[in-house]
Structure 1
Amino acid sequence: MSLIEVGPGQVELVLRGQGVLAASVRLFDWSRTDEYETAFAVEAVADGVRARLDNVTVTVWDDMSEFFDGLARDFRGWDGERVWINNHLVLTATFGSGGHVHLCWTLQSDFFPGGWKSTVTTVIEAGEGMTAVAADVREFLSQG
């Protein structure tokens, strides 16, 4: 994972799993709609498939940062799935063997049936790795 400065005060976030052919997710084109909403684009790449959403809107009430902070706090693991849902983006986290978090990113063109859907999974080390991801997500969402 890494924050990349793309302009004055503007960053994008790239999360990449382990290995040469690992899936990656990029959050970019951040903008603040108003004091309660942030919008950005998401691109997911895995196995030669590329999916992109140009406008994901996150509000202060569906706090994506808090979801990642919770994953980082529970570095010893948890049972079942943890899910964060937005109309076009669904994040599902499971704790796997070896102390890794399997984070499934589902991009969907529409909340209702009939649109396209693509899911990629990034695998992140539960301790320092997830702590760094949580900090980077918070910084990405709070820029500007």
Structure 2
Amino acid sequence: MGCEFDLGSAEDGQAVELIYPTLGSRVRIWNRIAPYDDEIVAFCAELSGEQMRAAVHGLTVDLYEGSSLARFLDGLAAEFTGWSGIRIWESLDRDLRVEAQHHARGYVEMTWTLSPHDCARPNTWSASVVTGLEAGEEMRRFAVAVHRFLQPS
């Protein structure tokens, strides 16, 4: 699988797509590789919305430590009754950031931000989209899909 997203790969766990039709926003992650043969995984990520699309390739995450995206999503799913404030997760190089807020109406709003890390040219660009999931079962299913995607082959 290359750096072009293949919708069929989402069906077999090789990619994840989160669509929020209310705002027309979409988050995609795909092309998972284990570059160092350890708990670090790299993948491509794309955010899109009305008349906007941004992608970062080679984004790295930790599978098991506190910085794990899957663990972050598990925590959001486990606290389906809610929390106050904003919870934040960032990838190892801070290329991807997720801010999650629980709303009283029983859903979780997540702001996904891509901002490629380049020490030579910091803060060159960033792009964000907002998605929402029902705080209970939808969030749990999304967390399971991300776990399945991130697990090494």
Say whether the fold is shared (TM-score over 0.5).
yes
Name whichever of 130-139 and 60-69 sits farther off: 60-69
Structure 2 gaps, min length 5: 1-6
Give the whole-Å Cα distance in 2 for the aligned partners of 1:72 and 1:42.
22
State how 1:56-71 maps to structure 2 within 5 Å: 56-59=59-62, 60-61=64-65, 62-71=67-76
Deviations 1:21-58 (A, max 9, x none): 52110001111122121000000001210010011111
- How high is the sequence identity, in percent, across the aligned residues? 31
RMSD: 1.9
Tell me the CA shift for residue 97 of structure 1.
3.3
Give the whole-Å Cα distance in 2 for the aligned partners of 1:79 and 1:11.
33
SS at match of 2:9: strand
What TM-score, normalized to structure 1?
Answer: 0.88
In the other structure, the counterpart of 2:116 is 109
User: Aligned residue pairs: how many?
Assistant: 139
CA contact 1:92–1:103 (8 Å) conserved in 2: yes
The question of 1:23 aligning with 2:25 is answered: yes
Q: Quick one: which of 37, 43, 48 aligns to 2:46?
A: 43
Name whichever of 109-118 and 25-34 sits farther off: 109-118
What TM-score, normalized to structure 2?
Answer: 0.83
Give the whole-Å Cα distance in 2 for the aligned partners of 1:6 and 1:92.
26
Q: Quick one: which of 6, 9, 12 aligns to 1:6?
A: 9
Q: Quick one: which of 114, 123, 131 aligns to 1:122?
A: 131
Which structure carries more strand by proportion? 1
CA contact 2:86–2:99 (8 Å) conserved in 1: yes
Poorly superposed stretches of 4+, deviation over 3 Å: none
